Chain A
Amino acid sequence: MVSYFLFKKDIHSEIRSRYAVNSLAMFIIVTISVIMFSIGAEEISDYLTGGLYWVVVFFTGMSGLSRAFVSEEERGTSLTLQLVAKPSTILSGKLLFNLVLTFCMNVVITILYSILFSSFVLKSLSIFLFAFFLGTIGIAISSTIIAAIISKAGSKGTLYPVLSFPILLPLILILINLTKSSMDGVSFNEAFVEIAFLFSYDVVMTAASFLLFDFIWKD
């Protein structure tokens, strides 16, 4: 319950400043337009658009998802939070906020992407939907726990993608693979191993995050 209030507080402060949402939205537009410029009038292969989709998702996430914890450190409110709630509650509140943010971001990217790239055609939608949801959860979890580490390491913004990329790499490689197979129209059973992989990644990262957050959060 407390974590829900924490989530509500984050939503309120986000609505007031609109910092993360604005930077995410601008970043989506910038990345997609850079891709469009560099492609120009070339015909690119379907697989490449599928791969570039996750590149956009990754870098957009890296631009805004660290806000959840960094903003607390900047405002100096992290000590108050430590008094108010247990570490696990704080993590679940922040995780909820980042999940919603990542989900909205991915929905916007997907809509823009399917409008702008004619070669981004998904033949088996069910595989892509699984990849989309499990991928969103995985990205949100890993980026939340890395954001916590970054905020305690003196908010070094440049370190954030450096630390997150290796952690997210197995997820992204499998997501790219799944997007390829959904563009090929592979049957669900064939892609099942990879979806199970995504699911186990999410479970393992969630467990590790909740176990280790205490050590990050307490000074």
Chain B
Amino acid sequence: MPIKSFSKLWSSIWKYFLFILMSFVIFAGISFPIVDVPKNWYEFPNIPGLGENAKIIFFHVSTAWISVIAFLMSTIFSIKFLRKKDLDDDVKAVTSAELGLVFCILATVTGAVWAKFAWGEFWSWDPRQSSIFALLLIYGALFALRSAIENDEKRAQLSSVYSIIAFVTVPFFVFIMPRIMKGLHPGSADDSTSGPVVNFKMNSNMYLIFMLTLVAFTLLYIWLWQLGVKSGKLKNKVLL
């Protein structure tokens, strides 16, 4: 009994914890000042070439990170569906793909805002921007395919196959193409500052808050995913 009540307590506590963590990282990410020589723990260093723009990194990188994680989870559950033919796995895969699409849109928007202030335009078809656009297209097409098929099992089967095939091309978009083509995003072929800002130019507290943001967004994703799966399963039960 105590174990059961503990797990029940835990299931509500971690959401409060998530609330506090999320509030903290949003507050810290937006309001902590950027100074040339940081002295206090709540001051961020001035990264040359980024300045005040650097603050959006907390939200841009974490939404992009979550979208890739969500698409990966969606593919894993699609593979699981094809092996076991359990419609619950399809619900899990679709929920994850939906969340991935939402976070992908957020990453595109935050990226465009950042691009406006760093590169001068909201959209300039940088390889990185083309590739995130392609990701949006892929998962848009997946939902178009799903809406075209009436039969539940067939819809689940064909959309799992499509999402696996689509995910196979994701490494080309996300990891290879932006690195071999010339562009403005850190990590492009002609990038002289050698790689992402994260590893080199953050000081330890900025890095810590950056990591906390990643954790907070991951927890948020897990919570949303659990809710989505619950409602999807109920929907299936009602329809059957």
Contact (Cβ within 8 A) A163 B154:
no
Q: Which residues of A contact B138 (CB under 8 A)?
A: 166-167
Would you call A216 an interface residue if the criterion is a C-beta within 8 Å of the partner chain's C-beta atoms?
A: yes
Q: Which residues in chain A, 187-219, are within 8 Å of chain B measured between CB atoms?
A: 193-194, 197, 201, 204-205, 208-209, 212, 215-216, 219
Q: Which residues of A contact B177 (CB under 8 A)?
A: 170, 173-174, 197
Q: Which residue of B lies closest to A211 (CB)?
A: B164
Number of interface residues of A (CB under 8 A): 30
From B131, B148, B161, give the contact of A212 (CB < 8 A).
B161
Question: In the bound complex, how far is the Cα of B180 from the Cα of A162, in angstroms?
Answer: 26
Q: Which residues of A contact B168 (CB under 8 A)?
A: 204-205, 208
Q: Mark each residue of chain B from 60 to 83: 1 if its CB lies under 8 Å from any CB of chain A, else 0.
A: 000000000000000000000010
Q: Which residues of A contact B164 (CB under 8 A)?
A: 208, 212
Contact (Cβ within 8 A) A170 B165:
no
Q: Which residues in chain B, 148-173, are within 8 Å of chain A measured between CB atoms?
A: 148-149, 154, 157-158, 160-162, 164-166, 168-169, 172-173
Would you call A130 an interface residue if the criterion is a C-beta within 8 Å of the partner chain's C-beta atoms?
A: no
Number of interface residues of B (CB under 8 A): 29
Q: Which residues of A contact B165 (CB under 8 A)?
A: 145-146, 167, 205, 208-209, 212
Distance of B32 from chain A, by nearest CB (Å): 38
Question: In the bound complex, how far is the Cα of B161 from the Cα of A173, in angstroms?
Answer: 24
Question: In the bound complex, how far is the Cα of B78 from the Cα of A208, in angstroms?
Answer: 14
From A162, A167, A193, A194, give the contact of B169 (CB < 8 A).
A167
Task: From known contacts A166-B137, A170-B134, infer whether A194 and B180 are also in contact, taking CB-CB under 8 Å.
Answer: yes
Contact (Cβ within 8 A) B172 A149:
no
The SS class assigned to the B binding surface is helix
Contact (Cβ within 8 A) B130 A173:
yes
Would you call B18 an interface residue if the criterion is a C-beta within 8 Å of the partner chain's C-beta atoms?
A: no
The SS class assigned to the A binding surface is helix
Contact (Cβ within 8 A) B172 A154:
no
Q: Which residues of B contact A193 (CB under 8 A)?
A: 180
Distance of A168 from chain B, by nearest CB (Å): 9
Question: In the bound complex, how far is the Cα of B145 from the Cα of A111, in angstroms?
Answer: 36
Distance of B72 from chain A, by nearest CB (Å): 16
Task: From known contacts A149-B145, A153-B149, A197-B172, infer whether A167 and B130 are also in contact, taking CB-CB under 8 Å.
Answer: no
Contact (Cβ within 8 A) A215 B162:
no
Question: In the bound complex, how far is the Cα of B78 from the Cα of A216, in angstroms?
Answer: 13
Q: Which residues of A contact B137 (CB under 8 A)?
A: 165-166, 169
Contact (Cβ within 8 A) B148 A152:
no
Contact (Cβ within 8 A) A215 B145:
no
Would you call B181 an interface residue if the criterion is a C-beta within 8 Å of the partner chain's C-beta atoms?
A: yes
Q: Which residues of B contact A149 (CB under 8 A)?
A: 145, 158, 161-162
Q: Which residues of B contact A215 (CB under 8 A)?
A: 82, 157, 160-161
Distance of B100 from chain A, by nearest CB (Å): 14
- What are 17 residue pairs bridging A and B, where the CB atoms are less than 8 Å apart in the complex? A145-B165, A149-B145, A149-B158, A152-B154, A159-B148, A163-B145, A163-B162, A166-B134, A166-B141, A166-B169, A167-B169, A169-B134, A169-B173, A201-B169, A212-B164, A215-B157, A216-B161
7 closest pairs, A vs B, by CB?
A: A166-B138, A166-B137, A170-B172, A169-B134, A208-B168, A212-B161, A193-B180
The interface of chain B, by Cβ under 8 A from chain A, is 82, 127, 130-131, 134, 137-138, 141, 144-145, 148-149, 154, 157-158, 160-162, 164-166, 168-169, 172-173, 176-177, 180-181
